[in-house]
Structure 1
Amino acid sequence: MLTKLTVLSSWSWRCAKSSTHKELVNDRWTACSHSRATTQIHPDLVDAGLIPEPFVDANDLRVQWVGEADWEYRATFEYSPGFKFTDLVFEGLDTFTTVYLNDVKILETDNMFHSHRVPVKDLVTEGDNFLRIYFYSALLKARELEGANKRMSLWNGESCRLYVRKAQYHFGWDWGPTLVTCGPYKEVKLESYDATITEISVISDISEALDAANTTVIVKTSGEYHHACVQVLSPDGSLAKSECVSYSDQFQEVKFTLERPELWYPHKYGAQPLYQFTVKLFTSSNHELAKLSRSVGLRRARVVESPLIGQPGTSFYFEINNVPIFVAGSNWIPAHSFHTLLTAEDYYSWIKLAVDGNQDMLRVWGGGIYELDVFYQLCDKFGVLVWQDFMFACGLYPHTPDLAKSITIEAEQQVSRLRNHCSVVIYTGNNEDYQLAESLDIKWDRRQKHGLSETEFPAREYYERILPMAVRKLSPNTFYHFGSPYGGDTTHDPTVGDIHQWNVWHGTQEKYQNWNQLAGRFVSEFGMQAFPNIETVKSFVTEASSQHPQSEIVDHHNKADGFERRLALYIMENIKIDSMDLASWTYATQFMQAECLAYAYRCWRREWKGKGKEYVAGALVWQLNDCWPTISWATCDFYLRPKLAYYAIKRESSPLSLGIYRDDRDKRASGRPAKSDTLYAYGSQKLLSVDVWAVNSSLSPVQGRLMVEFIEVFSGKIVFELQQDVDILANQSTQFLADVPVPTDCHTVVYVRLLDTSGSVLARASDWPQPLKYLSFNPGLNVAAEVKEDGFVTVTTNYPVKCVVLDVPGATTFDDNGFDAFEGDTIVVKAPGLAKGSLVRVEYYQRK
């Protein structure tokens, strides 16, 4: 046996101290009803029947006392002697704890994001041993720390959160509840060994020619051994390199050069080969003592900030293996308020959902957690880039010597853990902390790099010294960005760095038809709210009488300030409403969210115009997921049920897509007659001026035949059409038509298709008069959906139709939904598991 590793499980818990629930303060230990290695107090209390499910109705308010109590966890483990060393390894404890082994204090913690290795050989005894962890109320500790110092400014949550290194969203956010939980949220392990490997890290430097990978394997060990061997297997399993080194220290570096490496690419651009790096420790007689492996992808990743042709500022784009990439993706928050309830299968489903949705990147947002290893492993496997924030969000964080020391350890531990993951291509110091400081009119000199903690913005010490130093030291080839957003003279500067574009929904509450005027070099946040699936609403609203859009419980599950006015504003500006029942309102909000977000992606991808013209290089929607069942900006709800926006983004982010813009859009959206000489009021002749382009994300040019039709919405009559052969350049947008004038006296939809030489449709797009609420559809409109063969739905229509939604009771998923359709087209939608002849429900815009 090389080592003996025991993962502690079968935890028991008790309430150690509570000012409000005396009945729980006793010596009675309650065994967890599960055998998981990780756990948190709220789910355990639910399992024991002592609190209601916090996600249902307004129960989150009824369980606030849990966060103000102290709790204890204990586990029993068996120890067998026979090894020279024995350690207890704590991957993560949440947050303030004192740890006892056989009633001897061995550890105190105050940072959720730290791991700990504690030698315990002298404290364990043969047979049963007892580990007890006392969890102090992080909420009360945070209030105590704040009271001893001062209140700092913030957005979201209770201000005391800024004083503790704990997941900030536990204190409440504008999309999530306040549930300050605790527990052994990562594994606790007993490891007995003569020698063990505590860390393998691989740092690779890929030559600009991509023909060599200069690789450093960093090995950290504990215990006694004679020599170590490092072996590298190529993705096909063949031996690439092997080297043995004599023991010199518990820190070893082995350097290799891998010639002509197989490189890792994002999923739209190539394969995801992974090399296996294995380290073994041996005695002098070649007896193997320990073994540990890591799967690592090799790639050259850069963030390019260069002058642009014809526009001010600089680019901000990601380049992987010398390939510039327009990044279409999402922001990622923790997928559960109690993420120990998430399984590896849950993470797989979420990452697969992003990949299937044509998303290139997930941004791990700074108010949650540094995600579990499985998250990054799946991003490596599936080719999803990761933008990694450090865990600071929406606050003017204080500076104390103790916090600075704790944050230094946190940063070094987390970067050491994450640097093996080829998916991680950027670290960012915080989320919106510079923006908050600007909103408070705090002035600072960007050139000042000394005495930062003494300024009005003391957290600059973390963002501009401690965090970048950790990245430079431990992952020197990974880009570090001071904050998000961060760039030019202000965080709102659209010409440098990244921006968060919240002037749709927040801020000036611009019409979403103005997205083309709201671009930045990289838009790392923007969004629009929508209701989740009706079944999701019913999961958190138990009374049927409250299952309507304006009920108190439904409102309680929307944590955004002013959501009633803002959601209604965008609906009433754009969508015709015939009913306020739950089904109608859900459809309206999801339809509007889909139109809004699709328009942003379409406008911004257009600005990816080739070398030196990377005017917009990325769009990360806020947000992909939810931490509880709620109404929010998520494009997929808590139960992984995609909203219509998910499919709209998928279409707009496809490797080959078409775009359309009509120049009367903004004027029509206002509901007022246009003032231009070439545009006329409703009821008389109008002259549309239309642009058409394509975006090709592949590395090869595409040829095809462009078909453009201008179709009267009500009658379905084609009032104007044109065709032309087109060449679409690789990895950029290509414009085909500009300012095409089309006279018409009706509401006209522009329908564009790209055909290959055989006449098959490579891409399609449509553009409708805005606002959509003014449209009238033919009363004879009929949309048919049939399952003519297993796993496929065939959709046809006799008139132009907007936002066709397919639905089958149960768990059937579709590869497209919420799409437009036109007479003469046959649209085939994949629906895995759907049997031939199955009944498919159809909904579409303005259906009576």
Structure 2
Amino acid sequence: MPVRGTLLVKGARATFVQYVSILVTTFALLLMVGACATGGDARAATVGSAKLTSGWALRSATGLADAGDVISRVGYGTAGWHPVTLPSTVLAGLVDNRVHQNIYFGQNLKKVPDLTTQKWWYRGEFKAAASGPGQAYWLRFKGISYRAQIWLNGTRLDANAVGTLVHHEYDVSKLIRPGEANALAILVTPPAHACKDLSICTVDWNHEAPDMNAGVWGDTILETTGPIALRDPYVRTVLPLPATDSADLTVYADAVNATKAPVTAKVSGTISKAGHPTITFSQNVTLGAGERREIAFKPLHVKKPALWWPHQYGKPELYHLKLRADIDKATSDIKEIDFGIRQFTDYRKSVNGTSWAAYKVNGQNVLFRGGGYVWDLLQRWDTRTNATHIQYVKDMGLNTIRLEGTLGNEELYDLADRNGIMLMPGFVCCSAWQKDNAWTAEQTKVAMASLDSQMRALRHHASPFMWNYGSDEPPTPAHLATYKNIAAKLHWQNPTVDNVATWSNPDAGMKMDGPYVWEPPVLWWDTTRVGSAFGTTGEEGTQAPPPLESVQKFLAPSDQWPLSDAWNFHAGRPSTPFDTTTHYDKAIDNRYGKATGAADYARKAELQNYENTRAFFEAWSAHKYTRSFGTIFWMLNNSWPSVQWNLYDYFFKPGGGYFGTKKATEPVHIAYDYNTGKVHVVNSTLTSRADLQATATFHTIPDLTQRHSTTRSVTAPANASSEIMKVPAVGGLSPTYFIRLQLKDSSGAVVSDNLYWNSTRPDELGPKSDWHHTEVKTYADFSGLNSLPANPALAASATRTSANGNETATIKLTNTSPKNLAFFVRPEITAGADGTEVLPITYSDNYVSLWPGESTTITATYATRDLGGKPAHLRIRGYNVPTKSIPIS
């Protein structure tokens, strides 16, 4: 029987602005693990780990007569095969070899044939590390989809390695050729279409990959140890809540005996952190022949621990665990991880007659706010991509990423740990995962092995705050009981839920009632409505077409306007409610004025995205801990260039939805309730703010005449929301008008500045509603924005500084017009005067509006290399501000 486990190594420290140093660190790590890292004396076995990434080739099994015992022999010829670098799905490998080209543009994806009707060979050669006394060699596979035959040096290791999310491990000590070339061959059988296997699925939010993401998608690792190997180190942390001045730590790890005789090893460990005392511990362990057993160390008491906190709550402090197994003073294995001392707990609170799941971290209430993450359609990622996702989430003021079946990107977990981003993992909906009442015996085994593998990979991380056993529907009672037994056996320290949809399970604690298409901002605030901001939601959201500059990258000009079949092809899956953007388009035409072309549609879409995501997160935040406890926006990003759900698009271009979210989740924020006219101040930090002053003013359009002003003194308690005023009915307003909310501190410095465009004919919802849509009876009239006078008097300047391969541009904008507003102004750093925006990039603020005489300073951070050798320019555009470009000094 193969032994399953996970390889857990200390991840590289990473942030978006340090991606260059990430790459350097990662390269150094690969050199380190590939080398001989011996301990003890010269008799020690070689201890190390190497990812088998290069020297691979891919081809269809169709027409190839040779079997695995031949293909897996050193020197076998692969002329005519496609060279690939692992990990790689089948389709990713074919795209890299230009068999299928430009598949994300237009409707080219339709040209790719069904790749699941045949099997696929992966073949690679690698040199194994030299042998030492008691040497053991292990092959570890972190992801093969869906099933495979695995051959090494002419011998079959496994006739049926099955399960996309299952980790597979093999003791290959008797088959490996130490210090010489070795050959590995993997015959992959793809998953079935329509998510009929327990594989990775995109359900209705995206086209299925033509290969269903078949292939060797996870890391393939050759690990070398002595007779005893260590697996899955983990530190369970318990705080004496409500006190947090100490912690009890229990260290766990599995030990595996690779020999046919009993072996005794000393397993010792250190827990360290700069500025804190180092903790040491050890015990002797005797394992029988071939035995694998969990080791548990006596609890360790830590005084005054440095706690791990989510973003906006504090620093995400991490400790380092190093475990070592020694036999007769010779090192047999070493494993290292980072972990956080923190404790997530859950509780229930009833709202509108339903019991909702709510969460605390280290005894403090935490409102999880995040988005649903999905990986690339070809299941590709790299360090920079992972770092950008984490940095964008953090920059938007969010604290959570939901992983609905998108499990296995362990570098993303490391980065989440280091940046204080919580993870919400679980299995996917609407697929074989959810139809467990019809599972075969094999599928049941695969599901349980998948949970075991994925929990082992996640459990030592600080960032996961819970686990979802099911998505839309709970597992059957028998399967749920087995799932929970696995979690208990693994000492899973975080809360769990059976599923995240009260429509299928009244006690789920979370809802998934939609909507999934565009709705007006009032919906989020009207808590009598399905989908509004009450309780706890596993996901809901709204359509969000990307900026025009992104659309131009994947649609031909003729497909950009009028909206075409190619546009719809980049919406949701065909024959679903999401295969067009009809609801969204109708709202633009009725609220902002009928779009006249691609550019006009895009400028209005940016407004609509901004106001909607801002209202979404404002409503959830304003009701926190009284009526709302956590929300996931559907979606965070897209798996390919899409005109549907996202907070930022496939190309990492931040748009209206991104900056609306960033505004709503700023640390201390003033917000307007579209439903009641109430004004709230939300403090998302653990520090209270006193001596604040809030002002609400109403202005007509286009002349900015002030019709009303109200001021209140405000104290913003820590980690709380306060209702501070209700604005009255105001007369004499134009059909479209502005509400400006400002929050200032005692020195007069602006803490939060928030501009709303509103209408004397507000959006009104109709009575009809279903799981993805609530009808709109009346649309607001925002056409008055089109009457704002053109304002060419916006002065702009920018300077930049460079360090470590990155640049920071400091942008100053001043509205020198004596009477006209500069509305919805978008500064962008571009590569050249007429180039596109430098991506990825973060801004301290964006889509700003400046009253006459007002100024603001914005910083932008990006990588120098993304200028492509061109000079950096500042491009300024706005809803009523003409586009101009200036060089950055």
Does 1:130 find its partner at 2:183?
yes
Alignment of 1:618-657 (within 5 A): 618-657=630-669
Cα distance, 1:95 vs structure 2 = 1.5
TM superposition shift of 1:82: 3.5
1:692 aligns with 2:679: yes
Aligned with residue 143 of structure 2, among 45, 67, 92: 92
8 Å contact from structure 2 (residues 459, 492) kept in 1:
no
Other-structure match for 1:470: 486
Asked if the contact 2:57–2:78 (Cα under 8 Å) also holds between the matched residues in 1, the reply is no
* Structure-2 residue corresponding to 1:254: 297
Residue 784 of structure 1 and its aligned partner are, at CA, apart by: 1.2
| Match of residue 575 from structure 1 | 592
| Cα distance between partner residues in 1 of 2:874 and 2:221 | 52
CA contact (8 A) 1:72 1:135 kept: yes
In structure 1, the residue matched to 2:154 is 103
Deviation at 1:825, TM superposition (A): 2.8
CA distance in 2, matches of 1:406, 1:828: 55
Deviation string 1:356-377 (CA, Å, 9 cap, x unpaired) is: 11011111113xx313211111
Q: Establish whether residue 558 from structure 1 lines up as the match of residue 571 from structure 2.
A: yes
Q: Does the 8 Å CA contact 2:123/2:186 hold for their aligned counterparts? A: yes
For residues 501 and 598 of structure 1, do their structure 2 counterparts lie closer, same or farther at Cα, with a shift above 3 Å needed?
A: farther
- Give, in angstroms, the shift of residue 267 of structure 1: 1.7
Sort the Cα spacing of 1:565 and 1:401 in 2 relative to 1 into closer, same or farther, 3 A: same
Output the amino acid matched with 1:235. K
Mapped contact 1:326–1:618 kept (Cα < 8 A) = yes
- The partner residue of 2:225 within 176, 179, 193 is 193
Sequence identity of aligned pairs in percent? 17
Provide the C-alpha distance between the structure 2 equivalents of 1:829 and 1:343, rounded to a whole number of angstroms.
29
* Alignment of structure 1 residues 408-487 onto 2, 5 Å: 408-433=448-473, 459-461=475-477, 464-486=480-502
Of stretches 118-127 and 324-333 in structure 1, the one that deviates more from structure 2 is 118-127
Q: Quick one: distance in 1 between partners of 2:458 and 2:96?
A: 34
Distance change (3 Å), C-alpha of 1:294 and 1:302? same
Give 1:779-794 correspondences, 5 Å limit. Answer: 779=789, 781-782=791-792, 784-790=794-800, 791-794=809-812
Deviations 1:698-753 (A, max 9, x none): 22321212222222222112222233322222221112212534332434322121
Q: Is 1:605–1:616's contact at 8 Å kept on the other side of the alignment?
A: yes
Whether contact under 8 Å (1:232, 1:240) holds in the other structure is yes
| Structure 1 residues 824 and 468: CA distance shift in structure 2, 3 A | farther
Deviation for aligned residue 1:659: 1.1
Q: Which letter does structure 2 place at the counterpart of 1:551?
A: S
Report the secondary structure of 1:306's partner residue: strand
Partners in 2 of 1:65 and 1:780 — Cα distance? 53
Q: CA deviation at 1:190?
A: 2.6
Question: Aligned match of 1:817 in 816, 841, 846?
Answer: 846
Rounded to whole Å, the distance in 2 between the matches of 1:492 and 1:794 is 53
**Is it true that 1:282 corresponds to 2:326 in the alignment?**
yes
Structure 1 match to 2:703: 715
**1:373 maps onto 2:360 in alignment:** no
Partner of 1:684: none
| Counterpart pick for 1:357 among 376, 396, 405 | 396
Bigger drift between 372-381 and 822-831 goes to 822-831
Q: In the alignment, what sits opposite 2:68?
A: none
> Which residue does the alignment assign to 1:385?
422
CA distance in 2, matches of 1:232, 1:192: 22
Is this contact kept in 1: 2:501–2:508, CA < 8 A?
no
Q: CA separation of 1:625/1:578 partners in 2, compared to 1, >3 Å: closer, same or farther? A: closer
Inter-CA distance 14–510: structure 2 relative to 1 (3 Å threshold): closer
Deviations 1:460-511 (A, max 9, x none): 246632222222332343111111223xxx3597x97222242362xxx754
Q: Specify the alignment match of 1:676 in structure 2.
A: none
Secondary structure of residue in 2 paired with 1:64 = coil
TM-score, normalised with respect to structure 1: 0.83
| 1:62-91 deviation digits (Å, cap 9, x = unpaired) | 213323221101111234444532222222
Cα displacement (A) at 1:323 = 0.8
Aligned pair in 2 of structure 1 residues 14, 496: CA closer, same or farther (>3 Å)?
closer
Alignment CA distance shift 1:172-1:707 (3 Å): closer
Secondary structure at the counterpart of residue 233 of structure 1: strand
What letter matches 2:416 in structure 1? Answer: C
- Note if contact 1:13-1:29 (Cα within 8 Å) is conserved in structure 2: no
- Report the counterpart of residue 232 of structure 1 in structure 2: 270
Distance 1:133 1:416 in 2: 25
Is structure 2 residue 332 aligned with structure 1 residue 320?
no
Equivalent position amino acid for 1:786 in 2: A
Closer, same or farther: CA 124–504 of 1 in aligned 2, 3 Å: closer
Give the equivalent residue in structure 2 for 1:840. Answer: 875
Offset of 1:11 from its aligned partner?
0.4
- Give me the CA root mean square deviation: 2.9
Q: TM-score, normalised by structure 2?
A: 0.79
Deviations 1:186-239 (A, max 9, x none): 222233332322221222222212233222211222337643343333321654
Q: Secondary structure at the match of 1:563?
A: coil
The match for 2:280 is 242
Give the secondary-structure state (helix, strand or coil) at the position aligned to 2:678: strand
Summarize the alignment of residues 56-67 of structure 1 with structure 2, pairs less than 5 Å apart.
Answer: 56-67=105-116
Query: Of residues 61, 82, 105 in structure 2, which corresponds to 1:16?
Result: 61
- The answer on whether the counterparts of 2:830 and 2:873 sit within 8 Å (CA) in structure 1 is no
Deviation per CA, 1:611-632: give whole Å up to 9, x if none: xx52112222111111112212
Distance (whole Å) between structure 1 residues aligned to residue 63 and residue 600 of structure 2: 46
Which amino acid in structure 2 is aligned with residue 325 of structure 1?
V
1:390: Cα distance to partner? 2.3
Deviation larger for 100-109 or 389-398: 389-398
* Deviation by residue 1:300-329 (Cα, 9 ceiling, x = unmatched): 111221357xx6444532211111122221
Of 505, 512, 528, the residue aligned with 2:542 is 528
- 2:522 aligned with 1:513, yes or no? yes
- Give yes or no for the alignment of 1:304 onto 2:338: no
- The structure-2 alpha-carbon separation of the partners of 1:828 and 1:67, relative to structure 1 and needing over 3 Å to count, comes to same
User: 1:530 Cα shift?
Assistant: 2.4
Q: 1:471 to 1:303 in 2, by over 3 A?
A: same
Contact 1:691-1:737 within 8 A present in 2 as well: yes
1:256-271 correspondence runs (5 A): 256-271=300-315
The verdict on how the C-alpha distance between 1:564 and 1:190 changes in structure 2, with shifts beyond 3 A counting, is closer
Q: Which amino acid aligns with 1:762?
A: V
**Cα-to-partner distance string for 1:773-792 (whole Å, 9 max, x where unaligned):** 33253425456150254422
Secondary structure of the equivalent of 1:558?
coil
Counterpart secondary structure, 1:466 = helix
CA contact (8 A) 2:267 2:282 kept: yes
Q: Letter of the 2:236 partner, please give it.
A: I
**How far has the Cα of 1:658 moved from its partner?**
0.4
Report the alpha carbon displacement of residue 831 of structure 1 after superposing the two structures with TM: 2.3
Query: In 1, distance between residues paired with 2:548 and 2:310?
Result: 34
Aligned-partner Cα distance in 1 for 2:488–2:590: 49
Please name the residue that 1:212 is paired with.
246
* Residue equivalent to 2:806: none
1:786 and 1:840 in contact (8 A); partners too: no
Separation in 2 of the partners of 1:408 and 1:532?
A: 39
Q: Is the 8 A contact 1:785 1:840 kept in 2?
A: no
Match of 1:756 in 2: 745
| Per-residue deviation, residues 769-812 of structure 1 (Å, max 9, x unmatched) | 23243325342545615025442223344434543223343344
Cα pair distance change 1:244/1:792, threshold 3 Å:
same
Distance 2:176 2:186 in 1: 16
Structure 2 Cα separation of the partners of residues 243 and 564 of structure 1:
60
Where structure 1 has 5 or more consecutive residues not aligned to the other structure, the ranges are 20-24, 140-157, 435-458, 664-688
Q: Which residue number corresponds to residue 712 of structure 2?
A: 724
Instruction: Report the 3-state secondary structure (helix = DSSP H, G, I; strand = E; otherwise coil) of the residue aligned with 1:350.
Output: helix
Take 2:727 and 2:189, find their aligned partners in 1: how far apart are those partners? 66
Residue type of the alignment partner of 2:813: V
Q: Is the 8 A contact 2:609 2:660 kept in 1?
A: no
Aligned AA (1:121): S
Matched residues, number? 752
For the residue of structure 2 that corresponds to 1:733, the secondary structure is strand
